[in-house]
Structure 1
Amino acid sequence: MRAASVSDYRELARRRLPKIFFEYIDGGSYAEATLRRNVADLEAIALRQRVMRDMSRLDMSVTTLGQTLAIPVALAPVGMSGMYARRGEVQAARAAKAAGVPFCLSAMGVCGPDEVAAGAGLPPWYQLYMLKDRGYMRELLARVKALGCPVLVFTVDLPVPGARYRDVRSGFTGSSGISGALNTAWDGLTHPAWMWDVWANGRPHSLGSVAGAVQGKHGRVTDFLSWIAKNFDRSVTWKDMDWVRETWDGPIVVKGVLDVEDAKDAVRAGAQGLVVSNHGGRQLDGVRSSISALPGIAQAVGSDLEVYMDGGVRSGLDVLKAMALGAKACFVGRAWAYALGAGGEAQVARMLGTLKSELSVAMVLTGCANVRDASREMLDAQV
């Protein structure tokens, strides 16, 4: 099967990956209502087709936080992506660099920032989760800063992990004893290509950024959600942005904002950007979709900071819709994780090429020669 769309990459990943890892990335929390809503609400937005306009020159680039992006897309932080392909974060970062877009490394990634920077030839954007151990956090931020990571993506919507029922059913969480071990082993053995690529040749399987803080488990990826529940700091407030600034003096993007008042707080706290996001429908189920929250937030903060969006983006058409509603760029997560699981760096590169091609067609057929000019006028108000 040759992938033509993100849904095709999803199917290829489903075939290649052990069930526990496919369900982990594919699923959402609880009944997955928000997960479905993210996609459905984007699909429901109708573009306004325009014709007989000079579209001989297209400009799909945007400049944000001092960087020029070839297309308005960034690879969002995706935890444990090193379990989808051998040293997966490095492979995805290389594909992102070749496509001219940023790669944001998950704090829960298998590969650490040093390895990704060396392997891709470019320091990644880095995701920050706040741990209770502030001494360790200070050391981590200093290390990331010294490495040259240009942007800190402070993810604020995971003080506690949402209940992800698919992970329980698959055995990813809560599986113990001989029965659980046998099921997990069988899951791997029935996917030999993955076993050879990742399990046999993709070690070490540790959480590269926070392995030193995972006491007693040496950073292993097994049952790391329970470790999150014990070690992530629930007491974090906007005042903690001052603490982050003690070590980090570069741009900070706050990720996980759905409410206008929270967006205003991010401005007051000195953030340079925010990502309108519900964590891909993986946290509080039943909340609104990211795309439905985007226009109000973009209007409320104006030009005070850069507004990005993630959640449900599956095509270049979706990217243009988000731009029309106020996003500076889109973070894509599952799209690149599916492609990585389907076949590593080459498939991530092809997926990014597909997004670019889809965006190009959408721009031509809506009469938008410069993606930076995208506005509500490109949307069909009759639908």
Structure 2
Amino acid sequence: MKRQAPKPRDLRPLLKFKKPTMSGRKRRLAAALTLDDLRVIAKRRTPKAAFDYTDGAADGEVSLARAREAFADVQFNPAILRDVSTVDTSRVVLGERVAWPFGIAPTGFTRMMHAEGEVAGAQAAAAAGIPFSLSTMGTTSIEDVAAAAPGGRHWFQLYMWKDRDRSMALVDRAAKAGYDTLLVTVDVPVAGARLRDVRNGMTIPPTLTPRTVLNAIPRPEWWWNFLTTEPLAFASLDAWSGTVADLLDTMFDPTVTYADLAWIKEQWPGKVVVKGVQTVDDARRLADAGVDAVLLSNHGGRQLDRAPVPFHLLPEVVKAVGSEVEVHLDTGIMSGQDIVAALAHGATFTLVGRAYLYGLMAGGRPGVDRMIEILTGQITRTMRLLGVASLDELNPEHVTQLVRWGPRPI
């Protein structure tokens, strides 16, 4: 092998150094290539009680694990020799076109995860052209979220309380503030057994104990933001000083029925989505009741543990009611590939909750932007690798659900 001394002009291109990024947050977020990476950053920067509230589920957390396994057990079946130089990732959802086939799910206690809270989520969603859903248990008011992202599309999630007048007062405020869709959540007659929260003694506002103080030492930014911004409170509720589980059991009404849903629907001028559907029969009955969409969800595994996996239920529901109502899906989504798989199985739209909060905890508004950037990049790449140029081209032939476990024959 012939050798020669390297010449300066040959070395020059090899000696270009990357310009250093002075912002620690920018460096962290740029290094996050997946939602799991954002989760790791979030755990490192957020006190245990707040992180576990987001990360945890009910009882043994079996429902959440199974939902994520369901997506992991998807086999994609790509088509080749297709022109995918450009792809259309938009879709008409509840009468309006959105830029991407996912939105931000309603999450409670959001400013506990990061002081920017719902404002960061609403602004990031508006910038990306996707809907943002505000929870009844939100920590920013209905009006302030709308004002923070005036060009965004806002949905309001309703828990029906025992005090019906107060519940409907929130619905009226949302309509007046320009929210176009009401997500009626129906899987919370009582709070699920969220054992991480019980063990952490999580309260609103957070309680300072020797353990929480020790946990705060390596997380000074979170505590500085918490102590120097508006006190944490539920924007739609009176002050509460007990545990989260006690609050939920005090508020939620276990007597809500289909008749109550019809009453709500009569008073709401926009679209109605029912969130928490877990059987084909209920999806059929809701379609007959005239709702605009059913949202297959087991509340991210946070209510009934070992509940049906929404992704497994999806093909049956689409077959039963997909020609009459839109079928949306959440629970277990941790990548753009998961979203593409859901769309191929017939979902109209998806929502992400934990993914959003991981981004928020990792870096506030820039962290949410990074979460959206990761998902949109994965969606676009997966579509191209599958050989589809638009979401409407996705169909069940693009995915095979591998079987890890199933019902035991009787």
| Structure 2 residue aligned with 1:301 | 321
1:22-37 paired onto structure 2 within 5 Å = 22-37=51-66
Q: For 1:360 and 1:246, locate their aligned partners in 2 and report how far apart those are by CA, in whole Å.
A: 39
Residue 188 of structure 1: which of 198, 203, 216 is its match?
216
Q: For 2:46 and 2:322, locate their aligned partners in 1 and report how far apart those are by CA, in whole Å.
A: 42
Is it true that 1:276 corresponds to 2:306 in the alignment? no
Is it true that 1:60 corresponds to 2:61 in the alignment? no
C-alpha change, 1:372 and 1:5, in structure 2 (3 Å) is same
3-state SS of the aligned residue for 1:311?
Answer: coil
Q: Is the 8 A contact 1:128 1:155 kept in 2?
A: yes
In structure 2, what residue type is equivalent to 1:155?
T
Q: Is the 8 A contact 1:87 1:111 kept in 2?
A: no
Q: Is the 8 A contact 1:106 1:126 kept in 2?
A: yes
Q: For 1:317 and 1:148, locate their aligned partners in 2 and report how far apart those are by CA, in whole Å.
A: 32
Among all aligned residue pairs of Structure 1 and Structure 2, give the percentage whose two residues are the same amino acid.
Answer: 38
| Structure 2 residue aligned with 1:331 | 351
C-alpha change, 1:196 and 1:38, in structure 2 (3 Å) is same
In structure 2, what residue type is equivalent to 1:151?
T
1:213-252 paired onto structure 2 within 5 Å = 214=238, 218-219=239-240, 223-252=243-272
Q: Is the 8 A contact 2:74 2:402 kept in 1?
A: no
Q: For 2:358 and 2:159, locate their aligned partners in 1 and report how far apart those are by CA, in whole Å.
A: 24
Q: For 1:95 and 1:381, locate their aligned partners in 2 and report how far apart those are by CA, in whole Å.
A: 33
Alignment gaps of 5+ in structure 1: none
| Structure 2 residue aligned with 1:43 | 72
Deviation, 1:192, is 0.5
Q: Is the 8 A contact 2:130 2:153 kept in 1?
A: no
Deviation, 1:234, is 0.5
C-alpha RMSD over aligned residues: 1.9
| Structure 1 residue aligned with 2:201 | 171
In structure 1, what residue type is equivalent to 2:71?
L
In structure 2, what residue type is equivalent to 1:355?
L
Q: Which moves more between the two structures, 343-352 or 167-176?
A: 167-176
Q: Is the 8 A contact 1:129 1:232 kept in 2?
A: yes
Q: TM-score, normalised by structure 1?
A: 0.93
Q: Is the 8 A contact 1:130 1:137 kept in 2?
A: yes
| Structure 1 residue aligned with 2:367 | 347
Deviation, 1:49, is 2.1
Deviation, 1:86, is 1.6
**Paired residue total:** 373
Residue 208 of structure 1: which of 224, 235, 239 is its match?
235
C-alpha change, 1:98 and 1:175, in structure 2 (3 Å) is closer
In structure 2, what residue type is equivalent to 1:310?
D
Deviations 1:273-325 (A, max 9, x none): 11100000111101221110111111111221111100111111111100011
Residue 139 of structure 1: which of 156, 169, 176 is its match?
169
C-alpha change, 1:138 and 1:4, in structure 2 (3 Å) is same
Q: Is the 8 A contact 1:307 1:328 kept in 2?
A: yes
Q: Is the 8 A contact 1:113 1:124 kept in 2?
A: no
C-alpha change, 1:219 and 1:173, in structure 2 (3 Å) is closer
Residue 130 of structure 1: which of 148, 160, 165 is its match?
160
Alignment gaps of 5+ in structure 2: 1-27, 404-410
Q: Which moves more between the two structures, 38-47 or 268-277?
A: 268-277
Q: Is the 8 A contact 2:204 2:244 kept in 1?
A: no
3-state SS of the aligned residue for 1:226?
Answer: helix
C-alpha change, 1:158 and 1:97, in structure 2 (3 Å) is same
